[in-house]
Chains A and B, each alone.
Chain A
């Protein structure tokens, strides 16, 4: 576990918000996932120790919430909505376009480590379907052409960073 100093500070701070330490389990999981990109077994054990719990208590939580990841993901996280409105407006096609662009499959890390693509349930923007959430940014009306453009943009950004 190599948490950044900021995360450790935030963790210590957030624990004080609750009358019992156990209640801080979910916020801690979010903080660790933001820091590490995923929640490893070590992280579960670390959080359990921190909150004076047994690892199984934290493990139960991690396996219940789909947004907690137990495996690392790519540098960017592409979440394509597949609920009714988006599905009708071509969300599945958008998703396959992303898969083609990055030569990967849903739930996997693309060969270059750029992205992980996933289907998610409703992103609450049905009027602008199909929608895609890339990390924390919502993109609306993402048809295949826009998916290609977004993919190119991601590739370019990652290249510029590297």
Chain B
């Protein structure tokens, strides 16, 4: 058992409510614990505190102690220790909890402070809300509409600044909207380790910019857009595309690498508009890489497979399944499976089932690429651990399918089933592929699908539900955000049909959701480390599973955020 570190809890009082918090927690976080919202712009829980927006001003008091005797001073009226209230407000973000700290956030002084700070912030802030991308998720707008007076006392001309500065390939800046909170500067410096942003011409003309000749082009630049409390930093891709309040949010997982950053997919009417990170303090904090945000473009990509085909002729799914099972039966003992590290745990489990019933071997193709020690790991397969846990493979995958290659040459293999993998990229030549019959079940067209006898299209991660196991052996679930192309069914449905067809039984065309629960029933019954789980009981932030069985394997990952490889 891993001992949980003991935390020093102290009691503070927020608006009359006592709450126990770890020592050193700041007032904004402590207040959030009792449901008290302290408005703030520059403070971000994952960045250093600078205290430059002054929005989180609160009243603070400490228990009175007699200066001479150091004994508590009691208040005869209440019988409790007297509280010495400070005559001036303090900023919540930079005030750390100490024993007996008292905070008031509802007094007239605090109200006046907030109104004063807001008035100054809005002096030069344009009334852009109707055309601003941030509208609907803008802290400044929320505060102004919630507590503002609805008109402005400011009669002078507002500052005019550039409205569309290109800061980098993915980020566009509207200078007028910037409230100079410096979150983006701190993020670039502290998290992305690429200190390119800064304020120049400080004063009423303060401008956020890069040094001439440099750009905000690191792979984490879009996080600055996420943390911008106003609409100053905008995503060039998402800018002016859609109002955020029309978008449906679906929890998902970044499939880019084995880090498995938690994400939210924002979609409307079956179309995805953007992907943003979802907070998981054990995996990705509140960040994700830019490269993971464009993955949704694969959904409507040109090379997306949308039709089932047998011998290059359009066919129904039932026909394709029948043909496939005939092909497999006719070549019993000469069938090989190539599964993918991009398959979900459930799919891998069913593929394992299929492989067992055919008494054949399954290979996986490794995808080792560059990592950045932040949120892009070296293993560009999101779910190699899933394949290990389901028993689909027992060794780490290789980049070249040498065994399969020699087996094709020797005529030992007649049928290859590929799950979304391009075998030509793994050392199997096109001439070798033409010697065998290929059954391709996958999302996108590639050389292998081009040579395949049977092609069955399947769903991308955005169109199905399932789980991945990331580099920490954390099982994380994602759910379907948008429906797949018409007629394209879930991989689980394809696999179930194929397996039952091979056994000569027929199954009802099941709904993917029912199938997922069904798969989990057998998953938790078969795999001991997943025993008490079901798809619905996996928490949104995932769950670590027992990985002791795989501790000896030489995984390729190096250190990333919240991950250290086992040495």
Chain A contact surface mostly? helix
Task: Check A41/B200 contact, CB under 8 A, given A56-B195, A57-B195.
Answer: no
How would residues 200 to 227 of chain B score, 1 for a CB under 8 Å from any chain A CB and 0 otherwise? Answer: 1111000001111110000000000000
Residue of chain B at shortest CB distance from A65: B202
* Interface members, chain A 19-69 (any B CB < 8 Å): 41, 44-45, 54-57, 59-60, 63-64
Task: Check A44/B201 contact, CB under 8 A, given A54-B195, A56-B195.
Answer: no
Residue of chain B at shortest CB distance from A58: B211
Q: Are B211 and A55 in contact, with the CB atoms below 8 A? A: yes
B199 to chain A: which residues have CB within 8 Å? Answer: 60
A63 to chain B: which residues have CB within 8 Å? Answer: 200-202
From residue A53, how far is it (CB to closest CB) to chain B in Å? 8
Contact of A54 among B203, B209, B211, B212 (CB under 8 A): B211
Q: Are A59 and B196 in contact, with the CB atoms below 8 A? A: no
B201 to chain A: which residues have CB within 8 Å? Answer: 63-64
A64 to chain B: which residues have CB within 8 Å? Answer: 200-203
Q: Are A59 and B211 in contact, with the CB atoms below 8 A? A: yes
A64–B200 Cα gap in the complex (Å)? 7
A44–B214 Cα gap in the complex (Å)? 13
A55–B198 Cα gap in the complex (Å)? 10
From residue B315, how far is it (CB to closest CB) to chain A in Å? 59
Q: Are A56 and B210 in contact, with the CB atoms below 8 A? A: yes
Q: B197 at interface (Cβ–Cβ under 8 A)?
A: yes
Q: Are B198 and A56 in contact, with the CB atoms below 8 A? A: yes
From residue A40, how far is it (CB to closest CB) to chain B in Å? 11
A162–B196 Cα gap in the complex (Å)? 45
A45 to chain B: which residues have CB within 8 Å? Answer: 211
Residue of chain A at shortest CB distance from B195: A54
Residue of chain A at shortest CB distance from B210: A56
Q: Are A56 and B197 in contact, with the CB atoms below 8 A? A: yes
Contact of A60 among B202, B203, B214 (CB under 8 A): B202
B211 to chain A: which residues have CB within 8 Å? Answer: 44-45, 54-56, 59
Interface residues on A, range: 10 to 19
Residue of chain A at shortest CB distance from B200: A63
From residue A28, how far is it (CB to closest CB) to chain B in Å? 17
Q: Are A56 and B196 in contact, with the CB atoms below 8 A? A: yes
From residue A32, how far is it (CB to closest CB) to chain B in Å? 16
A44–B200 Cα gap in the complex (Å)? 13
A59–B212 Cα gap in the complex (Å)? 9
A44–B212 Cα gap in the complex (Å)? 11
* Interface members, chain A 63-85 (any B CB < 8 Å): 63-64
A117–B196 Cα gap in the complex (Å)? 35
Contact of B196 among A41, A44, A54 (CB under 8 A): A54
Task: Check A60/B195 contact, CB under 8 A, given A44-B211, A54-B211, A55-B211.
Answer: no
A68–B111 Cα gap in the complex (Å)? 41
* Interface members, chain B 156-212 (any A CB < 8 Å): 195-203, 209-212
Q: Are A57 and B198 in contact, with the CB atoms below 8 A? A: yes
A64–B206 Cα gap in the complex (Å)? 9
Q: Are B202 and A41 in contact, with the CB atoms below 8 A? A: no
A60 to chain B: which residues have CB within 8 Å? Answer: 198-200, 202
A68–B339 Cα gap in the complex (Å)? 63
B202 to chain A: which residues have CB within 8 Å? Answer: 60, 63-64
A57 to chain B: which residues have CB within 8 Å? Answer: 195, 198
A56 to chain B: which residues have CB within 8 Å? Answer: 195-198, 209-211, 214
A152–B200 Cα gap in the complex (Å)? 39
Interface centre among A44, A56, A63, A64 (most CB of B within 10 A): A56
A-B contact pairs, 27 of them (CB 8 A): A41-B212, A41-B213, A44-B211, A45-B211, A54-B196, A54-B211, A55-B211, A56-B195, A56-B197, A56-B198, A56-B209, A56-B210, A56-B211, A56-B214, A57-B195, A57-B198, A59-B198, A59-B211, A59-B212, A60-B198, A60-B202, A63-B200, A63-B201, A63-B202, A64-B200, A64-B201, A64-B203
Kindly list 10 other residue pairs between chains A and B, CB separation below 8 angstroms, not including A56-B195, A59-B212: A41-B212, A54-B211, A55-B211, A55-B214, A56-B197, A56-B210, A56-B211, A60-B198, A60-B199, A63-B202
Mark B residues whose CB is within 8 Å of A: 195-203, 209-214
Closest 4 CB pairs of A and B: A56-B198, A63-B200, A55-B211, A54-B195
